[in-house]
Amino acid sequence: MSRARQKARELVRSLMPKYPLDIVQFANLLGLAKPVEFHKRRGLPDEVSALVIDKDWYGSIHILSNANHPITRQRFRCVHELAHLYLEHKGRLHFYSPGNWCHEDPVEHNEADIFATEVLMPVFHVIELASQVKNPLKLLQAMQLKFGVSLEAAARRIIELEIYKNSACILLRDGQVVFAYETPDFYLSWETIHECLGELFHNMKPGQEKAWLLNNFTIYASKKQKGFILAVLVENQVRI
């Protein structure tokens, strides 16, 4: 287990925070050298999701988030920045943004992502929720509500934890992949998946959900507005 994952899990076990996580309250429990203040800013470049600024003469550490970005992204980025501070990473000024354009140290960047994921969606909470919500589409919805995270973050987490054996989570828009995550043992070809999802998309109405059999898989599909279709492909039952 990585250092960042271990520290995050130990922290969650010791603090036992409620979810969705109150990030301001959580920051004050970390025992950092200074209090942390959070600020939403609309003037940040679109490439910047969040940044942390600290100077020796400041009385507080300041974390700025991009108010133009979805709240779920802001939450993840703020905890990412807290991770830099808690893990005592070398830099005093960290930029986090899609594409990592500011050239964060890749090791520190990865550690902060792991920490944020573990803190926002603790493994035992996810497993407990999965034991209660059997339908994968409903599970993703429940995770978004319980943890205050995006659909993509929830999908990535259930695949990372292998909640379902031999599974994949895919979101398409007008036939193009928005995101796709799969477990290491997943073996269906993309051509097969794309053909099936295309058929489902044309046969479903917006807002409709449907379970569909394909070979040894069940495809749980939901047609969203504006050309989106979400699908979770599962071969076996939930691992609890």
Q: What is the pLDDT of residue 237?
A: 52
Looking at the structure, tell me whether residues 105 and 158 fall in a common domain: no
Mean pLDDT for each consecutive 10-residue tract of the chain (240 residues)? 94 96 96 94 88 89 95 96 92 50 76 97 97 96 98 98 94 90 90 81 86 88 88 70
Q: Is residue 239 domain-resident?
A: no
Residues 145, 200 within the same domain: yes
Give one word for 88, left, alpha or beta, with left for phi > 0 and alpha for psi -120 to 50: left
- Say whether both 66 and 151 belong to one domain: no
Q: What is the pLDDT of residue 101?
A: 47
> Among residues 120, 136, 153, which one ends one of the domains?
120
Q: Are 105 and 208 within one domain?
A: no
The domain boundary, picked from 120, 140, 172, lies at 120
> What pLDDT is stored for residue 204 in this prediction?
86
The number of distinct structural domains making up the chain is 2
79 lies in some domain: yes
CA distance 195 to 198: 5
Answer yes or no: is 240 within a domain: no
Residues 7 and 112 in one domain: yes
Residue where a domain terminates, one of 85, 100, 120: 120
Predicted local confidence at residue 120, as pLDDT: 98
Could you tell me if 128 and 230 lie in one domain? Answer: yes
H or E, element range at 130 = helix 123-132
Q: Are residues 63 and 113 in the same domain?
A: yes
Q: Do 225 and 135 sit in the same domain of this protein?
A: yes
Summarised one tens digit per residue, pLDDT across range 87-113 is: 998 754 555 444 444 557 888 989 999
Is residue 10 in some structural domain? Answer: yes
Which CATH number covers residue 142?
Answer: 3.40.1840.10
- Based on the domain organization, do 111 and 148 belong to the same domain? no
The residue type found at 79 is: V
Examine the domain organization and report whether 131 and 92 are in the same domain: no
Q: Is the pTM of this model over 0.75?
A: yes
Co-location of 9 and 110 in the same domain: yes
Contacts of 50 (CB under 8 A, 6+ apart): 63, 64, 65, 66, 74, 77, 78, 80, 81, 96, 97
What is the distance between the alpha carbons of residues 155 and 143, in angstroms, rounded to a whole number? 9
CATH of the domain at 25: 1.10.10
Residues 23 and 78 in one domain: yes
Residue 31 belongs to domain spanning: 3-120
